[in-house]
Homo-oligomer: A and B are copies of this chain.
Amino acid sequence: MHVSRDPGMERSLRERAPPLLTDLYQFTMAYAYWRAGRHQEPAVFELFFRDDPFGGAFSLFAGLHDCLLFLRSFRFTDEDVEFLRSVLPPVTDPAFFQFLRGLDCSGVTLRSIPEGTVVFARVPLMEVAGPLAVVQLLETSLLCLVNYASLVCSNAARFRLAAGPKRKLLEMGLRRAQGPDGGLTASRYTHVGGFDLTSNVQAGFLFGIPVAGTMAHSYVTSFTSLAEVRPQTLVALNGADPVDIISLTKDWLSRVCEFLGGEPGKICEGELAAFLSYAIAYPQNFLPVIDSYSVGCSGLLNFCAVALVLCELDYRPVGVRLDSGDLCRQSLDVRRVFRLCGEHFSVSAFDSLIIVGTNNITESCVLLLLLLFQENEIDVVGVGTHLVTCTRQPSLGCVYKLVEVRGIPRMKISEDPEKSTVPGRKAVYRLVDAEGRPFLDLVCLAVESPPEAGVSLSCYPLMCDSSLVSVTPAQVTCLRQEVFTKGQVRTGCDCAQITVAVS
């Protein structure tokens, strides 16, 4: 993996996730370790989640890149330490604050599954090894950086699976995320999870994700009449002279109404003015939202009129956006009108018009199913709230558990059996069958010998009461790699690993 060396980006993460962005008890525990002289004892924590999200059978692992930046810049400032002095009990030995001031991750080693990998519940995704007090202090920040990134990435992958490989997916959840950073994280990791586009300009700026968007209802409703259209002319693509676009539009509109049986009295002139004004500004990027008043009685007719004007001037209109109502049904109606108009007016551009479907939280869960099972003509699906908030399960529930201290396996036994942990340092292997398909992730103790290709082995399915199963892998991959060693991010892996094929 290529970890950004952009100092601005690193400073930005240092400001977003300073070492104080953690739970207070990490410091009280670190102090108790330090007071007992145990702070340097070698310890190992594992990060994993207990259940696959959304009632599904997999997750994608994400957030590693930010974790690496966090580890690399983990240092307390004088100001941090002074604040800690003010909140820890007054008996805290002043030498502890000196210790904190000198702390960094130079003793920490991180073994991790690569960013964007398909993973499963209870498999340790990351192993954080280092001095007990330091690896304890890292807990909350690492969980914060992995939990939501993996959750939203997995949610995106589920949308991608539902939408199929061809339909474009647009993330547009910034306004419904948990503040600015939640929105940015969502844009970034939904892209990893299979979304093509984002509406979030800052995400385009920071992460190079393609950005998309044309207009909102407010733009449409801000227009009242054709008098507001300025300039009232447009030059054809390869032309020289400005063409009077108002009269041309009126002409096309009456032809469209006549052909499609539209009632001129029901057509909203403000909407027509908005479409026309936008088309004059961006004649090659005409994709208006057509449901500000009524799709059938106004928006679609206005679109066809302006699109036909553009075609006459040798531009190619792009398509329409639907943002309310029954999107699947409407998309069929709209496509039918496009076909009829394309044929009737002999404009080939109408054959390749795209239909963008967007809608809010209440309908988008349904939308997901509709895309799978209901006939529709939606080419691009824009998802906001439901995608970024992960409505069905808004938290992945990753945990960070101690598994070894001074080489001794540690375990937590809980009143809730599922909260008990599996002790000891582990190795994780992905077993692949003869057709090259992964069929099993094997968690062993690190001290056990690794599975071998072609050799049968017996294992217990995790968290099941089932008996031993016997499998023979055709190929074995070690899933985790050492990505951070003694304060340094390891090179040798590539950013390309971030892209996941989920479809």
Contact = CB atoms under 8 A, between A and B. Distances in A.
Interface of A: 12, 15-18, 20-29, 31-33, 35-38, 43, 45, 80, 83-84, 87, 89, 91-92, 132, 136, 139-141, 143-145, 147-149, 152, 172, 174-186, 199-202, 204-205, 211-222, 224, 228-231, 277-278, 280-285, 291-295, 324-325, 360-361, 385, 388-391, 394-398, 400-402, 405, 408, 410-416, 419
Contact of A324 (B92, B214, B414): B414
B215 A25 contact: yes
Contacts of A148: 176-179, 182
A141 B175 CA distance: 7
A29 B416 contact: no
Contacts of A224: 405, 408
A28 B213 CA distance: 8
Nearest to A84: B201
A174 B177 CA distance: 15
Contact of A201 (B21, B32, B35, B416): B21
A340 to B, nearest CB: 21
A140 B174 contact: yes
Contact of A21 (B136, B174, B284, B416): B174
A174 B397 CA distance: 12
A87 B35 CA distance: 56
Nearest to A204: B87
A29 B201 contact: no
Which residue, of A144, A199, A214, A391, has the highest number of chain B Cβ atoms within 10 A? A144
Copies in the complex: 2
Contacts of A396: 176
A87 B222 CA distance: 25
A185 B177 CA distance: 11
Contacts of A388: 178
B215 A181 contact: no
A294 B397 contact: no
Contact of A83 (B186, B205, B281, B391): B205
A241 to B, nearest CB: 18
A218 B183 contact: no
Contacts of A282: 28, 31-32, 89, 91-92
Nearest to A43: B222
18 contacts: A16-B16, A17-B180, A23-B175, A23-B213, A24-B204, A25-B219, A28-B278, A32-B282, A35-B280, A36-B231, A83-B201, A145-B179, A145-B180, A178-B185, A221-B402, A224-B408, A389-B395, A391-B395
Nearest to A285: B89
Contacts of A176: 143, 147-148, 395-397
A423 B279 CA distance: 26
B43 A204 contact: no
Contact of A23 (B152, B174, B184, B228): B174
Contact of A361 (B31, B184, B216, B397): B397
A89 B280 CA distance: 13
Contact of A15 (B15, B43, B141, B405): B15
Contacts of A181: 16, 178-182
A387 to B, nearest CB: 11
A399 B34 CA distance: 51
Given A144-B174, A176-B147, A230-B37, A202 B20 contact: yes
A201 to B, nearest CB: 5
Contacts of A361: 395, 397
A395 B173 CA distance: 10
A177 B144 contact: yes
Contacts of A33: 219, 222
A204 to B, nearest CB: 6
B144 A175 contact: yes
Contacts of A202: 18, 20-22
Contacts of A411: 221
Contacts of A32: 215, 219, 277-278, 281-282
Contacts of A217: 401-402, 412, 414
A115 to B, nearest CB: 15
A385 B389 contact: no
A367 to B, nearest CB: 14
A146 B324 CA distance: 24
| 6 A-B pairs with the lowest CB-CB distances in the bound complex, closest first | A181-B181, A178-B182, A25-B213, A325-B415, A178-B178, A389-B394
